[in-house]
A and B are shown apart, each in its own frame.
Chain A
Amino acid sequence: MPRKRKTPKTRKDSQDALSRALAKVVKKKGFAAVSVGHVTRMVVSVDVDSGHLIPYSVRWDGDAVLDGLVSNQASVTVAPGNHVLTWHFNHGLESTWRHKLTVEPEGQGKRVLDEKSNTSHPNDSVSSGMEIFVA
Chain B
Amino acid sequence: MLASCVLLVAMGASEAVGQVKDRRELETPVRGAWEKILEEAGAVDRVPKMKTEKERVDFYTKLLDQLLQTPEAREYQKLYPTDRERYLAGAMAMAADEAALARSANAASTNPRSVGLIERSGIVDLISTALQGTNLVSANDTAVTVNLSAAALLCSACRDLALPAATRYRAGHGLNRLSGSLTFGAKIPEKEITGFSGLPDTDKLFDVVVWDAKFRVLGDRDPRARDWDDALLGELGGLSNLSTLTSDAVTRAFLDADPTDVDRPKTLTAPFQSAFDSVVRQRTGEVANRIRRSLQVSVKFSGQHLTTQPGMNRYTGVLLADKGLGAFDGSLNVSYSAVQDVKIKEGTTVTLKQWKSTAGFVGSIWKGVFVANRSAELALTGEAVFPVDGDDMPVVRKKTYKGDLALKIPISDSLDLPFSVTYTNDPNELAKKSYVTGRLGITYDFGSLKRLAQGK
24 A-B contact pairs sorted by A residue (CB < 8 Å) = A18-B51, A23-B264, A27-B263, A31-B263, A51-B165, A53-B224, A53-B232, A55-B237, A56-B240, A57-B243, A68-B86, A82-B262, A84-B251, A84-B252, A88-B243, A90-B280, A90-B284, A92-B236, A92-B284, A125-B284, A126-B277, A128-B277, A132-B251, A132-B262
Any A CB within 8 A of the CB of B198: no
Give the residue name and chain of the B residue nearest to A127 (CB): B277
- Mark interface residues in A45-77 (1 if CB within 8 Å of B CB, else 0): 000001111111111011010011110000000
Smallest CB–CB gap between A67 and chain B, Å? 6
How many A residues have CB within 8 A of the partner chain? 43
Any B CB within 8 A of the CB of A79: no
Majority SS at the chain B contact face: helix
Smallest CB–CB gap between B368 and chain A, Å? 17
* A69–B165 touching, CB < 8 Å: yes
Contact partners of A51 in chain B: CB under 8 A: 165
* A62–B31 touching, CB < 8 Å: yes
* A90–B240 touching, CB < 8 Å: yes
Given contacts A54-B236, A62-B249, A64-B244, 5 further A-B contacts (CB under 8 A): A52-B165, A53-B224, A57-B237, A67-B241, A82-B262
Contact partners of B239 in chain A: CB under 8 A: 90
Please provide the chain B residues from 3 to 23 with a CB less than 8 Å away from any CB of chain A in the complex. Answer: none
- Mark interface residues in A89-101 (1 if CB within 8 Å of B CB, else 0): 1101100000000
Contact partners of A50 in chain B: CB under 8 A: 161, 165
* A86–B265 touching, CB < 8 Å: no
Smallest CB–CB gap between A89 and chain B, Å? 8
- Contact pick for A93, options B161, B243, B245, B284, CB 8 Å: B284
Contact partners of B288 in chain A: CB under 8 A: 92-93
* A90–B255 touching, CB < 8 Å: no
* Complex alpha-carbon distance, A6 and B134, angstroms: 70
Chain B interface residues (CB < 8 Å from chain A): 24, 27, 31, 51, 86-88, 161-166, 223-224, 232-233, 236-237, 239-241, 243-245, 247-249, 251-252, 255, 259, 262-267, 269-270, 273, 276-277, 280-281, 284-285, 287-288, 291
> Which A-B residue pairs are the 6 nearest by beta carbons?
A92-B284, A55-B237, A69-B164, A88-B243, A33-B262, A86-B244
Contact partners of B281 in chain A: CB under 8 A: 92, 125-126
Smallest CB–CB gap between A17 and chain B, Å? 13
- Mark interface residues in A116-135 (1 if CB within 8 Å of B CB, else 0): 00000000011111111010
* Complex alpha-carbon distance, A32 and B266, angstroms: 8
* A26-B245 contact, Cβ under 8 Å, with A55-B240, A93-B223, A93-B288: no
Smallest CB–CB gap between B274 and chain A, Å? 9
Contact partners of B232 in chain A: CB under 8 A: 53-54, 93
Give the residue name and chain of the A residue nearest to B287 (CB): A93
* A33-B266 contact, Cβ under 8 Å, with A54-B240, A55-B87, A93-B288: yes
Contact partners of A26 in chain B: CB under 8 A: 263, 266-267
- Contact pick for A31, options B223, B236, B237, B267, CB 8 Å: B267
* A59-B244 contact, Cβ under 8 Å, with A31-B266, A69-B164, A134-B262: yes
* B255–A53 touching, CB < 8 Å: no
